[in-house]
């Protein structure tokens, strides 16, 4: 059976419950939590994410959430039910107590560890045994109590975890030290430093791990930060501030300039620009006017708006986006299931290895002390937590950075499959084209002008809402309007009426033929336009043809680049469309797509996609997420185009929040990078154990080094996942930026950018109709040039000269060298002055005794007359 990202059908009676779980430390804990939840009658499925410390349960309606909580409490993992109606806070502050156990353990352990390094300096010394015991005991039983609690809970449940391994290993080292101190007082080598150092290093590793894991949830926190808490609702003639929870669908909300929009709605009055960058990834504000939809969480710019509420609470686009990202981050990738099976037997295998290590060394040389130390090293270096963190932290980082670029990944399976896509099939209308017909050609008959026939056609179409009529009216918006009398529609053919006393008709070739006007030189032009995929209308007066109007759906500006990017990666591109063969061939030719399937009905698109999948191809289908739902479900991975207020169909695994087809290549790229990071994380997690455990078993690692390696393994796996946060999609490269984006990309503050513009170092940027600065890559390169030049100490005048040389492709290199040499000479002179200043100050300080006496030459020297040099 071939995997698909379409959700599996499930009984409608099932409901989801989310629990926040504490006390988990490794992949073995995840397995135990899932088993505890699945043991509750009525639970159909349970999935636990170690990185977010959340459990998602699908259960029958008769399963109360408190029963799930009780099952976890009994298993030793305290849990709290997360209410879907209560959004999480935008920023949960870090636990201020998290650092002090690490600091306290470090202070107590440092005196124990320092003697280990005394031999490097030719000195051998050791703390008295009673002092070592005094320092190690609070580390072992107070600061390390969490390991005993976690290990005991694991034993009660009949399993093991990382806590159990640490507790057993450090207890063995601590117990051996107490025994040796009692048996050979003042003579034996003790291992208190080993047990204390292991606990300290593990505590440090967990602390750093928590901080790193927190960064993987930045995307969710950024989206939650968009949730407004109050709304200004119109009640009669007055504005009333209400909590967002009390706003109802249909309420009219007033939004002032600078306000964050609190609800999804439709603009009733006012015009403004709205910043939707955190929702769609579009950096420039979007114009809004009456009739346009706005999305809660966006920021209103310069104009006041009144908005009729269309969605609130959990039904808003922002809430659905957050649920989609959370769902993707909580889901398990197929590769994680292999890790879960390994984790289920990991701890028992490690315990067996430790026992065999102890027995082997004892039988080999009869030294129980050395045997125990090596067994402790085996227990300590084993790291199930790295195995448990490798996949979920990478998924969270990957889905988070994708969401910031306008790519919403609904589930982990879609993310894992997308990297292997070999075929991308595009719907045409609304995906590769704008989806709105425009007037592309207007051919008047001999003796008539373009404006004249356009005015007449617009008069006939003025009362129509047909897409072709809107295209005509848009083209004629700058012309003086004419009025049509007795205008009426001719179903399936066009429209007719009287304009300036003349009986005119505008419609299809069939209408022109009925009226006897389908003749003359315009016929050949109509055939040529139809061959290019245009929709052709005839403007006629009686049996006399007056003009041809041709309509087409304009290609998106980035469509050709999107197809070229995919083809450059060796991905086969296909276009599936219900349009005519001529229209499809025209679009495909402009984009460089050779495989075209035209006149395909929506129901047949799914069969076409299934046919592409035959032979093992991994097929992605890109559509609008509504009409193309069958094809989206049939594809290996479905990509749904959506706007900020239209989240994708449930059939799609990935939603593209902007209508930019280049996001398809970006989604495949972030999938490839994420999957690579997952494999890297799992490789290192397994490598630590596969290499470390044998080294410890053969006595090549002492417990302190083993503990450090174990702590480092978890931190490094999470840190490796976090490198995904630097990813930037190609759809953002070369795109217009606002001043904030330009500042981040160049490293120059917005204030300094304005300053450089005022000095003429950077040309003033283009501006939108609303006056917003618009920057491109060229300006960013110039700003980086200026910043690096300032870092080297060049003056503004020198930078102006350097910029001129940099932008002159025919520049002689000797001029650049001469300018740099002059600057170097200036720096040498300044350094000489500074050295002289330093010598003078040092001399004066040496002459001043700095005691209670008043005599000191410094002040007198500073007051002395200036001597000419």
Q: Report whether 344 contacts 31 (CB < 8 A).
A: yes
Q: CA 379 to CA 390: how far, in whole Å?
A: 21
Within 8 A by CB and 6+ apart from 111, the residues are 127, 131, 135
Q: CA 270 to CA 306: how far, in whole Å?
A: 7
- Encoding tokens for residue 631? 């094809």
Four-point Cα dihedral 604, 606, 610, 612, nearest 10? 80
Give 394's Cβ-side CA count (13 Å radius): 31
Four-point Cα dihedral 170, 176, 182, 185, nearest 10? -100
Q: CA 630 to CA 648: how far, in whole Å?
A: 13
φ, ψ dihedrals at 193, nearest 5°: -65, -35
Task: Specify the 3-state DSSP secondary structure of 849.
Answer: coil
Please, where are the H alpha helices in 332-484? 334-365, 368-381, 384-404, 412-418, 450-461, 467-475
| Helices 662-697, 368-381: inter-axial angle, 10-degree rounding | 170
Give the burial string for 102-111 (b: 16+ CB within 10 Å, else e).
bebbbebbee
Active site residue 553: no
Residues paired with 548 in a beta bridge: 443, 538
Q: CA 1 to CA 421: how far, in whole Å?
A: 17
Q: CA 583 to CA 532: how far, in whole Å?
A: 6
Q: CA 752 to CA 747: how far, in whole Å?
A: 10
- Encoding tokens for residue 235? 């009640």
The catalytically annotated residue of 163, 427, 579, 660 is 427
- Encoding tokens for residue 578? 């219900």
- Encoding tokens for residue 123? 């000195």
Q: Is 849 exposed, middle or buried (0-12, 13-18, 19+ CB in 10 A)?
A: exposed
Q: Report whether 26 contacts 202 (CB < 8 A).
A: no
How many residues in the chain?
869
Q: Is 398 exposed, middle or buried (0-12, 13-18, 19+ CB in 10 A)?
A: buried
Four-point Cα dihedral 798, 800, 802, 808, nearest 10? -150
Q: Looking at the annotation, which residues are catalytic?
A: 427
């Amino acid at each position: 059976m071939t995997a698909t990202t379409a959700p599996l059908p499930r009984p409608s009676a099932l409901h989801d419950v989310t629990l926040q779980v504490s006390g988990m430390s490794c992949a073995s804990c995840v397995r135990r939590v899932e088993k505890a939840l699945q043991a509750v009658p009525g639970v159909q499925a349970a999935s636990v994410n170690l990185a977010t410390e959340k459990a998602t349960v699908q259960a029958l309606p008769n399963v109360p959430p408190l029963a799930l909580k009780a099952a976890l409490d009994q298993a030793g993992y305290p849990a709290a039910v997360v209410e879907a109606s209560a959004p999480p806070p935008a920023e949960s502050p870090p636990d201020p107590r998290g650092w002090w156990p690490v600091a306290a353990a470090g202070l107590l352990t440092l005196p124990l560890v320092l003697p280990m390094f005394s031999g490097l300096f030719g000195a051998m010394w050791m703390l008295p045994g009673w002092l070592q015991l005094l320092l190690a005991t609070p580390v072992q039983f107070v600061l390390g109590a969490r390991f005993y609690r976690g290990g005991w809970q694991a034993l009660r449940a009949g399993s093991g975890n990382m806590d159990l391994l640490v507790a057993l290993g450090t207890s063995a080292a601590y117990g051996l030290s107490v025994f040796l101190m009692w048996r050979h007082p003042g003579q034996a080598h003790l291992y208190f430093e080993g047990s204390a150092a292991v606990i300290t290093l593990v505590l440090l590793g967990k602390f750093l791990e928590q901080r790193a894991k927190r960064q993987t949830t930045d995307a969710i926190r950024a989206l939650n930060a968009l949730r407004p808490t109050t709304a200004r609702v119109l009640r009669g003639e007055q504005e009333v501030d209400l909590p967002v929870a009390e706003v109802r669908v249909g309420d009219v909300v007033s939004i002032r300039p600078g306000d964050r929009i609190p609800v999804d709605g439709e603009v009733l009055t006012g015009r403004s620009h709205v910043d939707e960058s955190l929702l769609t990834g579009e950096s420039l504000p979007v114009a809004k006017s009456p009739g346009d939809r706005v999305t809660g969480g966006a920021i209103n710019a310069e104009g006041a708006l009144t908005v009729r509420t269309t969605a609130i609470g959990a039904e808003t686009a922002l809430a659905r986006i957050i649920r989609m990202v959370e769902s993707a981050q909580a889901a398990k990738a197929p590769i994680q299931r292999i890790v879960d099976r390994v984790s289920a037997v990991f701890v028992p295998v490690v315990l067996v290895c430790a026992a065999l290590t102890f027995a082997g060394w004892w039988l080999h040389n009869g030294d129980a002390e050395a045997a125990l130390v090596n067994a402790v090293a085996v227990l300590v270096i084993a790291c199930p937590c790295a195995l448990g963190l490798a996949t979920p932290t990478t998924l969270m980082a990957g889905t988070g950075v994708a969401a910031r670029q306008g790519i919403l990944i609904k589930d982990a399976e879609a993310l894992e499959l997308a990297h292997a896509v070999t075929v991308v099939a595009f719907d045409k209308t609304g995906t590769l084209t704008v989806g709105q017909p425009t007037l592309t050609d207007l051919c008047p008959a001999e003796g008539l002008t373009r404006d004249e026939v356009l005015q007449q056609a617009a008069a006939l179409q003025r009362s129509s809402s047909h897409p072709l009529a809107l295209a005509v009216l848009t083209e004629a918006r700058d012309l003086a309007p004419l009025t049509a009398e007795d205008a009426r529609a001719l179903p399936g053919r066009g429209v007719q009426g009287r304009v300036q006393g003349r009986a005119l008709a505008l419609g299809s070739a069939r209408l022109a033929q009925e009226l006897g006007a389908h003749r003359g030189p315009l016929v050949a032009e109509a055939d040529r336009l139809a061959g290019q995929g245009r929709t052709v209308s005839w403007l006629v007066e009686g049996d006399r043809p007056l003009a041809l109007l041709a309509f087409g759906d304009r290609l998106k500006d980035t469509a050709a680049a999107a197809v070229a990017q995919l083809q450059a990666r060796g991905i086969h591109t296909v276009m599936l469309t219900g349009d005519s063969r001529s229209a499809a061939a025209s679009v495909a030719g402009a984009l460089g797509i050779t495989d075209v399937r035209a006149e395909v009905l929506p129901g047949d698109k799914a069969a076409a996609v299934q046919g592409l999948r035959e032979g093992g191809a991994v097929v992605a289908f890109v559509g609008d997420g509504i009409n193309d739902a069958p094809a989206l479900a049939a594809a290996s991975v479905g990509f749904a185009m959506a706007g900020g207020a239209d989240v994708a169909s449930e059939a799609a695994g990935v939603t593209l929040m902007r209508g930019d087809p280049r996001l398809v290549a970006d989604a495949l790229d972030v999938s490839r990078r994420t999957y690579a990071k997952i494999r890297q994380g799992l490789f290192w997690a397994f490598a630590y154990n596969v290499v470390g455990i044998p080294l410890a078993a053969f006595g090549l690692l002492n417990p302190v080094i083993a503990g450090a390696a174990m702590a480092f393994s978890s931190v490094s796996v999470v840190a490796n996942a976090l490198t995904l946060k630097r990813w930037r999609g190609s759809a953002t490269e070369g795109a217009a930026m606002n001043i904030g984006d330009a500042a981040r990309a160049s490293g120059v503050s917005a204030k300094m950018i304005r300053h450089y513009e005022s000095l003429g170092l950077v040309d003033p940027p283009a501006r939108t109709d609303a006056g917003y600065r618009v920057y491109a890559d060229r300006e960013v390169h110039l700003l980086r040039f200026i910043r690096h030049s300032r870092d080297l100490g060049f003056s503004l005048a020198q930078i102006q000269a350097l910029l001129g040389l940099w932008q002159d492709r025919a520049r002689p290199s000797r001029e650049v060298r001469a300018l740099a040499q002059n600057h170097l000479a200036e720096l040498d002179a300044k350094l000489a002055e500074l050295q002289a200043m330093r010598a003078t100050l040092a001399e004066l300080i040496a002459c001043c005794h700095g005691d209670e006496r008043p005599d000191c030459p410094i002040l007198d020297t500073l007051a002395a007359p200036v001597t000419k040099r």
